[in-house]
Structure 1
Amino acid sequence: MSVRIFRILAVALLGIAAASCQKEPSASGLNNDNLVYTAYDEGTDFASFNTYFIPDSILLIGNTDKAEYWKDADAQQLIATVVDNLDARNYTRVEDKAAAQLGLQLSYVSRVTYYVGYNYPYWWGYYPYYWGPGYWGDWLGWYYPYPVLYGYRTGSLLVEMVNLEGDADAGSKQLPVVWDCFLGGLLTADDELNLQRTVDGLNQAFVQSPYLAQ
């Protein structure tokens, strides 16, 4: 597992030890900082992928027991930022997810903390209405190819890249998450600044993930 961490708007350094799990650092002291965290499966050959599918909405993770989706102009700008970065790296977006090799999911934690671990059958083990494997096709579940445990707090944005071709070599019907990105410390009292920080964070996530280039 390879992890690189950058703070865009601060000089302070943040250390995270590479162990059997990774957690988001304490949110205290991050009010003025933008944290960009990326991880990927070192066994994945990203050059072997050409096409991807991304939904037109962002899942809102909150305190409700129903799925909520963020679809306004701000959400579209964030989705477009991911699309622009992938297109710039010679990936091709397709409208039919059945024809895509990769799937992208964006989630925004709007209120509380949720955890996701590699040993759970679903990414968000405690959220009842997250997009299930059936959204992508006839799959039993998904998993991270590396041990991971994340804690997401209010204002966090998560991007996860799934290999929709599954783990063919192992004969598995599960979908591996081959890359993910976590943005923290996004919230201020200025909505326009929050959006810009999030866009900047997404761009930085791709900058610090050179292995995604074709």
Structure 2
Amino acid sequence: MSVRFFRILAVVLLGITAASCQKEPSASGLNNDNLVYTAYDEGTDFASFDTYFLPDSILLIGSADKAEYWKDADAQQIIATVADNLDACNYMRVTDKAEAQLGLQLSYVRRVTYYVGYNYPYWWGYYPYYWGPGYWGDWLGWYYPYPVYYGYQTGSLLIEMVNLDGSTEAGNKQLPIVWSCFLGGLLTSDDELNLQRTLDAIDQAFIQSPYLAQ
């Protein structure tokens, strides 16, 4: 697993091990800095993928009783920035999920904290309207091929890349998450600044993930 951080104030605030449990560091003292965390499956050959599907909305994770999706101009800028970075890595965006080898999921934690655990990776099970495996096709579930246990707090943007070709193991109908990205410390009192910080953090996530480039 590869873990790097973006412009953190001279302190390593987050450590990931198979057995440890960590939360997102407090952003109270990081008014001018973002936290960008990325992790990937070292056993994945990213050069073997050519196409990806990226939905036109971002899931809002909060306390709503039904699914809410972020689709306004700001959301489209965020989605476009992800697409631009993937295109720069020589992947091709397709409009048909059935033709894609990779699927990208974007979600924004608006109000509450959620956790991902290595022993119980289905954190989205706590939020019933998260992108389900059925969204991508005839899949039964998900898994992280790498150890991870960490928390997401209010104001976090999550990006997860799933291998839509599935597992090579016979009979395995789970979709592996081969790359994940967590962006924290995005919120200020200025909405325009928040958006720019988010776009910059997305760019940084790809900068620190050179293995994605073809």
Q: How does the TM-score come out when normalised to structure 2? A: 0.93
Q: Does residue 75 of structure 1 match 2:75?
A: yes
Structure 2 Cα separation of the partners of residues 172 and 114 of structure 1: 27
Shift of 1:201: 0.1
The one-letter amino acid of 2:96's match is: D
Residue 17 of structure 1 is matched in structure 2 by 15
Per-residue deviation at 1:30? Answer: 3.0
Q: How does 1:1-214 map to 2 (within 5 A)?
A: 1-7=1-7, 11-20=9-18, 21=20, 22-120=22-120, 122-214=122-214
Would you say the 8 A contact 2:114–2:123 is kept in 1?
Answer: no
Higher strand proportion (structure 1 or 2): 1
Give the Cα separation in 1 of the matches to 2:26 and 2:126. 20
Q: Compare 94-103 and 123-132 and name the one that shifted more.
A: 123-132
Aligned residues: 212
Unaligned runs of 5+ in 2: none
8 Å contact kept, 1:118–1:148: yes
2:16 and 2:149 in contact (8 A); partners too: no
Gaps of 5+ in 1: none
Residues 190-214 of structure 1, C-alpha deviation per residue, up to 9 Å, x if partnerless?
1000000000000000000000000
C-alpha displacement at 1:24, in angstroms?
1.9
TM-score of the superposition, structure 1-length normalised?
A: 0.93
Mapped partners of 1:149, 1:124: distance in 2: 14
RMSD of Structure 2 on Structure 1 (CA): 1.5
CA distance in 2, matches of 1:195, 1:14: 25
**Equivalent AA in structure 2 for residue 116 of structure 1:** V
Counterpart contact for 2:133–2:140, Cα < 8 Å: yes
Aligned amino acid, residue 191 of structure 1: D
> How far off its partner does 1:170 sit?
4.8
